[in-house]
A and B are shown apart, each in its own frame.
Chain A
């Protein structure tokens, strides 16, 4: 049987703030008793407001942080074991929020090659991987350009290519669209969906934008360090009041459907897109 890509068991993470003399000032339990699994090939989203612990959670997956309590297993390797660190990071690549602050080289193709260089991949193979990855994210024609000339969305795609070139099994994206305009956001999410479908890469998307997760296989909602909701996008978004309680929002159409249902209209559950709402309203009208 195929093991899970990621398994998080009773995870807790505390960070301790110390004052100038080294005495403990406060203890913040950023992750509180969290458990979930992610199957290989899935597209899973972790949704949460700022301060919910979602970014902290992401950093546990590639062993930037390690558990205070509980355990995190990536492809069967425990993140608490130091000797696993580099294998885990190659298995679970991570794309960060700020497009500029994760691009190291002054030429696009060189930046994509940075990961393979670190892994000791032979020169010829590095070139193969760079080309393949840039093609997979649709940025091959920009290979000789300076990253400074790219838009935010393009930079993030280059960052994703840089991770793909390391041949990971899973990509974790920590709020990759937070600093992008709507077009950039679309670009990045579409690229990630393609990679998930075509290359079968497991995707873990951390975000607070609802419209980005409507095609996910599973959505996990975090609040104050705990997992408070878990299910398919439709299951989650139907519970509009609960979502709002956690400082999150739903797509406008989902909210409209919710309001109409409250007012008595019998619409189907889990409406997420414009088309679905229009369909449902027309059906209702026809009755």
Chain B
């Protein structure tokens, strides 16, 4: 029944509410997220962390997405986080501050682990914010518009965007179909759970073959339906919901510029001080 629920949820964890962030053009958010992620690795000092923290939490506040909802997404990467912390904590050489047998923790290790943990957390938070405030459709539209110039070097931007939005549309449907096929095979005594790796891989054949056949059939039907509605590629198409920049988007870009400047200057500052 988890899959029944998935039918109702749009892919990505879009949280529908009306914040200024939601109303920003998706291109601003895409560029912003990219810049933010890059910025996380541009500094090493305390100053930088303060700048990033202020920026991130202001954005979270602006998004009007409830904090507990955001934190839920973090649960998924707890393991990765612990792993990274572990490595940095115990394997960074430097001034020892703790030792127990062969387990050594250095001051550098502590600092490095801490900072790494923060970076990772902020990275996930930042990119999640984009998916919380932008629908998958808006994201593909934004990407398509941003990458349009690549057409001139023969990159099929429109086709890629179309593929992505069709994939998004059909993921819940295919998931539901997987559930159905699985149940149908289980009704014939199929066992997807027991056995070693090889046995379990083999047991997936009665699931994957029908799924693929069905996917191809859908693709065929869909292509016919699209042609019947006069689809002939990206040329000459107009848009029902075209992306147009407005005032708030330019302000958004401006704020990003200011943020970037802050990060870079903090880097310059730290180089000067340390």
Contact = CB atoms under 8 A, between A and B. Distances in A.
B193 interface: no
Nearest to A114: B229
B23 interface: no
Q: What band does the interface of chain A fall in when counting residues whose beta carbon is under 8 Å from B?
A: 35 or more
Contact count band on B:
20 to 34
A166 interface: yes
A117 B10 CA distance: 24
A96 B229 contact: no
Contacts, number: 97
A148 B173 contact: yes
Given A117-B237, A122-B238, A148-B8, A104 B222 contact: yes
B196 interface: no
**Most chain A CB within a 10 A radius of its CB, from B236, B240, B241:** B240
Interface string A114-144: 1111111111001100100000000000000
B242 A106 contact: no
Contacts of A147: 169
Q: Is the interface of B mostly helix, strand, loop or mixed?
A: helix
Given A96-B225, A106-B169, A123 B238 contact: yes
B173 A100 contact: yes
B230 A166 contact: yes
A146 interface: yes
A94 B8 CA distance: 28
Contacts of B242: 123
Contacts of B237: 117-118, 120
B169 A103 contact: yes
B228 interface: yes
A249 interface: no
B136 interface: yes
A107 B238 contact: no
Contacts of B137: 105-107, 110
Given A64-B224, A106-B10, A93 B136 contact: no
A104 B238 contact: no
Interface string A139-158: 00000001111000000000
Contacts of A114: 226, 229, 231
A123 B239 contact: yes
Interface in B35-71: none
B211 to A, nearest CB: 15
A102 interface: yes
B239 A86 contact: no
B239 A104 contact: no
B221 A117 contact: no
Contacts of B221: 96, 98, 101-102
B225 A104 contact: yes
A225 interface: no
A287 to B, nearest CB: 54
B165 interface: yes
Nearest to A98: B221
Contacts of A123: 238-240, 242
Given A86-B230, A89-B230, A102 B222 contact: yes
B232 A86 contact: yes
Interface in B159-182: 165-166, 168-169, 172-173
Contacts of A89: 227-230
